[in-house]
């Protein structure tokens, strides 16, 4: 009898413990684990995809590394979980991952109904159409009656529906969950057009059997501010993720790169001194080491470096900076002051 009582007590206590541990701070959980679990795409070239040697590469991947560098002073303390468009938010909500850096568009309903906090945008994108040149279509307005390949559960699916509705055009979606399966279906000619974010279309075209046969139509039909996201409930962790992204942009504004960051430590500019933790304050405010921004820039690089390395004009994607240039160069990348 005594044994049963003890058993019941232990069981109910452990149940309570489970619920308490779950309610703990995300930052504490990450720190005690010793690494960040980041949700990434897994099959979009230039944003989140392992290379031939199995090393994760991409703009989103580097963003996650920057967060790890800020928290642990070591950009390698991050593990990646490849997620489909449909799994990504559930994975974040359920605590399977700590941060989502997987080209996710910030929207009102995701921020509210899904219980997510999106932080600073790390890529400004827009939805476009990829089409075979053989069809001789020059504008998206000529797509009446087209069959369109689209990923499920994305803003893409809604945007396409909205676009065809406003332009009173008929269309048929072919919805396949797996990105690479969808691309294969499109290249085989099951659909006339593939619609997705323009950056992803460039990535898809890069892996086409014959990339020259495909063109991206001029219309960009939506705004897609792609941003990392965290769960509601831990503001400190949110701030760290937010400012890790902004630190890369700020560094580019200040002219700090991974190459010159050590020289910059000697800079007389008070903004640079504050940013790199030479004059203390920012680190303590975030609950991090004062060297956090230095570590990001030293180990990962500034935004410009990360962009050019993964998706820039010299990569297979060959994307211009466009909207993603610094505000001083006519783009949208803008960082609040680091003070």
Partner 1 sequence: MSNSANTAIAKPPFWRDAEKRAIFFQILALLSVGGISYYLFSNTQANLARQSIATGFSFLEREASFEIGESLISYSASDTYFRALLVGALNTLQVAFIGIILTTILGSVVGIARLSSNWLLSKVAAGFIELMQNIPILLQLFFWYAIFYESFPSPRQALNPMKGVFLCNRGLIFAVPESNPAYTAMGLAFIVVLIIGWFSNRWGHKRQELTGQPFPALRLTAAGAILIPLLIWVMYGSPTAMSIPELRGFNFSGGITVSPEFASLLLGLVLYTSAFVAEVVRAGIQSIGRGQIEAAMAIGLKPGQVLQLVIFPQALRVIIPPLTSQMLNLTKNSSLAVAIGYADFVAVANTTINQTGQAIEGVAMIMVVYLFFSLSTSLFMNWYNKRMALVER
Interface residues with partner 1 (CB under 8 A)? 15, 19, 22-23, 85-86, 89-90, 93, 109-110, 112-115, 135, 143-147, 152-154, 157-158, 160-162, 164-165, 171-178, 181, 185, 188-190, 192, 231-233
Residue carrying the six token digits 């799994």: 87
**Shortest distance in whole angstroms from residue 100 CB to partner 1:** 13
**Shortest distance in whole angstroms from residue 189 CB to partner 1:** 5
Cβ closer to partner 1: 109 or 210? 109
Cβ closer to partner 1: 185 or 267? 185
**Shortest distance in whole angstroms from residue 41 CB to partner 1:** 15
**Shortest distance in whole angstroms from residue 23 CB to partner 1:** 7
Cβ closer to partner 1: 104 or 296? 104
Cβ closer to partner 1: 56 or 237? 237
Q: How far is CA 188 from the centre of its chain?
A: 29
Cβ closer to partner 1: 185 or 273? 185
The C-alpha atoms of residue 70 and residue 79 are separated, in whole angstroms, by 15
The C-alpha atoms of residue 268 and residue 254 are separated, in whole angstroms, by 13
The C-alpha atoms of residue 114 and residue 231 are separated, in whole angstroms, by 9
DSSP state of 104: P
Cβ closer to partner 1: 51 or 144? 144
**Shortest distance in whole angstroms from residue 300 CB to partner 1:** 29
For residue 143, how many other CB atoms are within 10 A of its CB? 25
Please name which of 71, 67, 90, 77 lies closest in space to residue 28, comparing C-alpha atoms. Answer: 71
The C-alpha atoms of residue 191 and residue 208 are separated, in whole angstroms, by 15
**Shortest distance in whole angstroms from residue 199 CB to partner 1:** 20
Question: Which helix (H) or strand (E) segment is 61 a member of?
Answer: helix 59-72
Longest dimension (CA), the chain: 82
**Shortest distance in whole angstroms from residue 238 CB to partner 1:** 13
Cβ closer to partner 1: 152 or 331? 152
**Shortest distance in whole angstroms from residue 252 CB to partner 1:** 34
Q: Residue 53 contacts by C-beta under 8 Å, 6 or more apart in sequence?
A: none
Tokens of 188: 């085989």
Cβ closer to partner 1: 75 or 160? 160
Alpha helices for 100-197 (secondary structure H): 108-112, 155-166, 179-187
Q: What are phi and psi of 116, to 5 degrees?
A: -115, 155
Q: What angle do CA 235, 63, 75 make, to 5 degrees?
A: 95
């Amino acid at each position: 009898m005594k044994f049963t009582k003890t058993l019941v007590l232990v069981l109910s206590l452990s149940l309570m413990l489970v619920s308490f541990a779950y309610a703990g701070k995300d930052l504490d959980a990450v720190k005690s684990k010793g690494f960040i679990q980041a949700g990434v795409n897994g099959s979009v070239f230039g944003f989140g995809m392992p290379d031939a040697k199995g090393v994760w590469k991409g703009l989103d991947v580097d963003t996650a590394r920057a967060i790890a560098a800020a928290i642990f002073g070591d950009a390698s303390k991050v593990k990646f979980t490849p997620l489909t468009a449909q799994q990504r938010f559930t994975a974040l909500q359920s605590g399977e991952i700590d941060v989502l850096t997987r080209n996710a568009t910030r929207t009102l309903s995701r921020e509210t109904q899904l219980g997510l906090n999106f932080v600073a945008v790390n890529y400004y994108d827009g939805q476009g159409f990829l089409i075979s040149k053989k069809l001789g279509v020059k504008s998206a307005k000529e797509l009446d009656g087209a069959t369109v390949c689209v990923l499920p559960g994305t803003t893409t699916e809604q945007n396409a529906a909205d676009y065809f509705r406003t332009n009173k055009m008929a269309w048929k979606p072919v919805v396949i969950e797996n990105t690479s399966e969808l691309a294969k279906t499109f290249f085989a000619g099951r659909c006339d057009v593939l619609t997705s974010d323009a950056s992803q279309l460039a990535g898809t075209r890069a892996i086409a059997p014959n990339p020259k046969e495909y063109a991206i139509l001029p219309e960009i039909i939506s705004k897609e501010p792609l941003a990392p996201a965290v769960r509601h409930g831990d503001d400190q962790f949110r701030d760290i993720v937010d400012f890790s992204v902004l630190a890369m942009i700020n560094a580019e504004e200040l002219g700090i790169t991974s190459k010159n960051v050590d020289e910059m430590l000697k800079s007389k500019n008070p903004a640079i001194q504050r940013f790199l933790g030479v004059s203390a304050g920012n680190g303590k405010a975030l609950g991090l080491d004062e060297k956090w921004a230095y570590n990001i820039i030293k180990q990962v690089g500034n935004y410009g470096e990360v962009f050019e390395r993964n998706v820039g004009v010299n990569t297979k994607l060959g994307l211009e900076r466009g909207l993603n240039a610094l505000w001083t160069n006519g783009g949208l990348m803008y960082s609040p002051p680091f003070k």
